[in-house]
Amino acid sequence: MGSQSYLWQLTKRTVTSAIIGVTISDRYVTFSSVRGSSMYPTFQATSTSFPGSLRGDLVLAERFCLERYKFSQGDVIIFKAPDNHKKIFVKRLIALPGEWIQIPESSEMLKIPEGHCWVEGDNSACSLDSRFFGPIPLGLVKGRVTHVIWPPQRIGAIERKIPTGRIPPT
Amino acid sequence: MAWASGSGRRFAGIPWRVIASDAAGRFMLVCKAACAVHVFNNYVCSIALVRGPSMLPAINVSGDVVAVERISVRSGSIGVGDVVLLRSPENPLKIVTKRVTGLEGDSVTFERDPARGDHRRKTVLVPKGHVWVQGDNVYESRDSRQFGAVPYGLIQGRAFCKIWPPKDFGRIEQKL
């Protein structure tokens, strides 16, 4: 009887904390690990030669920006991949709706349609981004990355930066 | 002086510790309830008020309350004919209700703009990871015919049941 009530208490506690954790991660802040080298050097994927170890950086993403979908150029965002809803990408936001952008590797100018944005990886050599799939709807954005929290030697905030010469001054 | 010491004693006599712990307990209970509601709404089922002319006759112009389930979106089992709520690709703050008429890899044929008498037919192939959505009322709906196929990730839920007004209570049918 005693062990049964203990088990019941334990289950209740676990479920409650899981529910609270999920809510916080859905609405306020969440953790995410970054794999791949598309955002090098902002995030670094460690070599995969240590199986079992944490691969890639652990980052903190806030979700308050989703209340009004207000972003700035240079923010690092996480979003659902437009061609696979189960995959989450992390890239840098380059241009917002209504802005003109010069497509790299061509001299073409493109106006970002209403409700969309242009995202690119910092490491343009190996990044699957808007240069490949075009502007993405803002509705796919799931949060803004604010800090790196692991590994310890690179803990710190992430600053906004924009590649120069891409967006003409208005 | 006698009055002051009396009120002081009375003040000290109030069981502040008990009141505070009671209040904290109640506050936590409210928080837990709010969290439970959020999880249930986001992962299982919620209700939504939908209105507008685009889904006539399945949904009224004046607004119906529908039950929306989230499970089939997460499991990826949204099919052709389902009524879905999705974040508008043109304005992320707006949630629109449309019917899925094509999944990835399907080719969809539609009349270009019947509202303006443009009945030419056009066929497009839905790209990978996207769905084609259209309103039931082809004359007054802003949907994939204007903005193209939408990524599956924008779908928020599947409307499966009308619950208000009571005379319309019933399942929302899957149809083409």
A26, A81, A140 member nearest B154 (Cβ): A140
What pLDDT sits at residue B90? Answer: 92
| Mean pLDDT computed over A133-161 | 89
Domain segments of chain A as ranges: 29-157
The structural architecture, per CATH, of the domain A29-157 is Ribbon (2.10)
Q: Is A62 a residue whose pLDDT tops 90?
A: yes
pLDDT tens, position by position, B13-42: 888 899 999 999 999 999 999 999 999 999
Instruction: Flag the least confident range among B3-12, B85-94, B128-137.
Output: B3-12
Percent residues over pLDDT 90 in chain A: 42
What letter would DSSP give residue B175? -
| Mean pLDDT computed over B156-160 | 93
What pTM, to 2 d.p., does this model score?
Answer: 0.84
Q: Which of B93, B98, B150, B155 to mutate to test the interface with A (most CBs of A within 10 A)?
A: B93
Task: Tell me whether residue A91 is one of the annotated catalytic residues.
Answer: yes
B153–A85: do the CB atoms touch at under 8 Å? yes
At residue A48 the predicted structure's pLDDT band, cuts being 50, 70 and 90, is low
Q: Is B8 a residue whose pLDDT tops 80?
A: no
What's the whole-number average pLDDT of chain A?
Answer: 85
| Mean pLDDT computed over B102-113 | 89
Q: Is B9 a residue whose pLDDT tops 80?
A: no
Task: Tell me whether residue B88 is one of the annotated catalytic residues.
Answer: no
What letter would DSSP give residue B83? E
Copy the structure tokens of residue A74.
């240079």
What pLDDT sits at residue B95? Answer: 92
Contacts of B128 in chain A (CB under 8 A): 83-84
What pLDDT sits at residue A45? Answer: 67
Strands B118-125 and B107-113: antiparallel
| Mean pLDDT computed over A95-113 | 84
Q: Say how far apart CA B82 and CA B75 lie, in whole Å.
A: 14
| Mean pLDDT computed over A98-124 | 86
ipTM rounded to 2 decimals: 0.83
Q: Please spell the DSSP secondary structure of chain A, one letter per residue.
A: -HHHHHHHHHHHHHHHHHHHHHHHHHHTEEEEEE-SSTTTTTS-PPPTTSTTSPPSEEEEEE-GGGGTT---TT-EEEEEETTEEEEEEEEEEEE-TT-EEEPTTS--EEEPPTTEEEEE-SSGGG--SHHHH--EEGGGEEEEEEEEEESGGG-EE------TTSS---
B87 to chain A, any CB pair closer than 8 A? The answer is yes
Decide if A61 contacts A48 (C-beta within 8 A).
Answer: no
B32, B34, B87 member nearest A139 (Cβ): B87
Q: Which residue in A has a C-alpha nearest to residue B31's C-alpha?
A: A20
Q: Which residue in A has a C-alpha nearest to residue B156's C-alpha?
A: A139
Percent residues over pLDDT 70 in chain A: 89
Contacts of A84 in chain B (CB under 8 A): 128-129
A64 to chain B, any CB pair closer than 8 A? The answer is no
Q: Is A166 a residue whose pLDDT tops 80?
A: no
B129 to chain A, any CB pair closer than 8 A? The answer is yes
